[in-house]
Amino acid sequence: MLVAVVAMAAHPPPFERTKGINGLEKLIVRDRRGRSFEVYLYGGHVTSWKNEKGEELLFLSTKAIFKPPTPIRGGIPLLFPQYSSTGPLPSHGFVRQRFWEIDTKPPPLPSHPSSAHVDLILKSSDADLKIWPHKFVYRLRVALGHGGDLTLTSRVQNADVKQFSFTAGLHPYFSISDISQIQVEGLQNLNYLDQQKNRTRFTDNAKFITFNSQLDRLYLRAPNKLRIVDRKKKKTIMVRKEGYADAVVWTPWVKKVSDLGVEDYKRFVAVEPVAVEKPIILKPGQVWKGVLQVSVVPGA
């Protein structure tokens, strides 16, 4: 009996399953140093990521609506099988509005070692097939690295008998001190589509992006490492991506968004890994993998 108790203490449960806002189920995952993240089964949606000091590193709208079928505003929404309004489906697709399940037998995933993680799965339903007639299996692993970094690994499998294509992405809302006090680095000299101007193409010649008005840009063939420098908090958010060729930078600024508080725009910036310019093509049985890894380091 003593051996069993010691074993249980050495291997705590991988996550806590509990009720979140409005009774929606969520999973809380913690590591031994007190770092954590929370993910709702509705949307496979990460809503919280905290460091060992308990500091929240993601932003959640003060007016977020936790009532299906409305998507959750903030955290890290999943965009699939369509980014934004680039096709006939509802904006950003539909998986962020579906109830996911815990994946008890995920295929092996060679990746960065993690101190704690959880696996989720979503399979296309009959209702999904009516609006997007392609059978798929979407697996998501959310993991805390030994250094406190957060990694989201998406794996989409074509479970159909015919080829299909899709666009996809993640839409992380990063918590910052003030939108006017930050800069985004790593996108100099890239072409981008201005999504406020009917996706007109421009070239960004600035050394970095600063913010003093609404901005919504789709950067094409973006590098896999980007930085959000927060001078006021004296920290840098490192954004690393794999499998997503492009990147979006967005702030609504003072533009009214129904499920955002009036002052909320000051407290977040979205830097999003996306695959848009060249849709992903999957043959039957093939699997696509996309990775987002984020970490926070001192200094600005």
Residues noted as catalytic = 171, 272
Query: How far apart, in whole angstroms, are the C-alpha atoms of residue 270 and residue 59?
Result: 10
Closest listed residue to residue 55, CA positions, set 270, 233, 186, 248: 233
Tokens encoding 226: 């980007």
Query: How far apart, in whole angstroms, are the C-alpha atoms of residue 184 and residue 24?
Result: 34
Residue located via tokens 């696509």: 288
Tokens encoding 133: 């007639």
Query: How far apart, in whole angstroms, are the C-alpha atoms of residue 201 and residue 218?
Result: 9
205 contacts 188 by C-beta, under 8 angstroms: yes
Residue located via tokens 């930078």: 249
How long is the chain? Answer: 300
Query: How far apart, in whole angstroms, are the C-alpha atoms of residue 208 and residue 122?
Result: 38
Query: How far apart, in whole angstroms, are the C-alpha atoms of residue 271 and residue 170?
Result: 9
Closest listed residue to residue 286, CA positions, set 125, 102, 162: 162
